[in-house]
Each structure stands twice: as structure tokens, then as C-alpha cells.
Amino acid sequence: MSENKPLKKVCIICAKGSIEDVYATLVMGNGAVMEGIEAKLFFTFFGLDAITKKTMNNLHTGTVGNPAMRMPGGLPFPTLLGILPGIEAGVSAMMRSQMEKLDIPPVDEFLDMITAGGGEIYACKLAVDMFKLKKEDFTDHVKDIITIGEFYGMCGGEGTQIIFT
């Protein structure tokens, strides 16, 4: 039987750009720094939308192929509705509205809180190159554009957990 050791560092990889995936990363990263745990967040592929100036505060919720999506009242959301024009935008606006009512900050403010608490934000070099992005396309919160190998190198050590969202 192994004994539990305190978590000292969390390394979170965000590869998807939907509201629910990005906010899972931000909530876990912010929670870590608030608990005094070292946090490093790595954004790759469509997760880059969360740290790209043009897209970071206009994320969407996927309405097609999301089996957990529910309509008001708890009924399952019919996937077929998700293909209709305006549905994804409406659902996304509704999600942002619900988050605002709960005083959940927008992405840029969340990144402010994480970095102010000592958390570090990184962009994936491979994805940046694939999407032909440049350092100036990203929020100033991004500490560097690095390879996944470099990120893993930062994530070593006892008491470290790597989380993929």
C-alpha cells in the first residue's frame, strides 16, 4: 500500500477549444494556485483558442455529438437541432450568461488570476506552427511557445500530476 504524498505541482494540457473544456483547464489551474500548488498550463491544437487574442473571449459550446447536453428542464438536447443555423451561437451565449450569473470570470480575467498566483501559461510550438500563429497573436499571459518535450521537462518531480483536458 502506498502512502499519499501532497501534490506539489500540476501540469494541465488543454487540447480543445470549447467553453467547457477551456474552463475545466482554467478552473483546475486557478484552484491549484489558490491552494499553493505550482501550476503550468499548456495549450495545444484547438485549445489555443483560449489564449489567442481574437478568440479567447468568444468560445463556443459544441452542440453536435455532446451526449451530456441538456435542455432546460433536463431533457436530452436532440443532436439534430445542433446543426441548425444559430443554435450553437445561442447555446454558447446561454452558457456564457449562466457563467456570468455565477460570477465566473471571462477567459482573460481567469488567466490574470492564474498568472498573478504564479501559474504559467504556455503555447504548443507544433500547433502554433500548424495554425501559422505568431507570439503576438497570443495574450500577454503566454510565457513562451514550447514543444511538448520541453513542457514534460518542466513537469518532472515527485508530487507532480499531469492532467489532460
- Secondary structure class of 55 (helix, strand, coil): coil
128 phi and psi angles, rounded to 5 deg: -60, -45
pLDDT digits (tens, 9 = 90+) for 90-104: 888 888 888 899 999
d(Cα 24, Cα 165) in Å, to the nearest integer? 7
Look at residue 127 and tell me if it is in a domain.
yes
CATH number at residue 115: 3.40.1260.10
Q: Among the listed ranges 6-20, 30-44, 77-91, which one has the minimum average pLDDT value?
A: 77-91
Residues 109-114: what's their mean pLDDT?
A: 97
Identify whether 122 is part of a domain: yes
State the chain's mean pLDDT as an integer: 90
Range of the domain at 121: 9-62+75-164
Ramachandran bin of 162, using left for φ above 0, alpha for ψ from -120 to 50, beta for the remaining angles: beta
| Three-state secondary structure call for residue 107 | helix
Is 69 inside any structural domain? Answer: no
Q: Is residue 97 part of a domain?
A: yes
Domain assignment present for 130: yes
- Amino acid letter for position 39: A
Is position 58 within any domain?
A: yes
Beta-carbon-side half-sphere exposure of residue 50 (alpha carbons within 13 Å): 34
Higher confidence at residue 65 or residue 52? 52
pLDDT tens for 25-64 read 999 999 999 999 999 999 999 999 999 999 999 998 877 7
Any domain includes 155: yes
Judge whether 165 and 21 are in contact, CB under 8 Å: yes
pLDDT value at residue 2: 52
Structural domains counted in the chain: 1
Residue 67 forms part of a structural domain? no
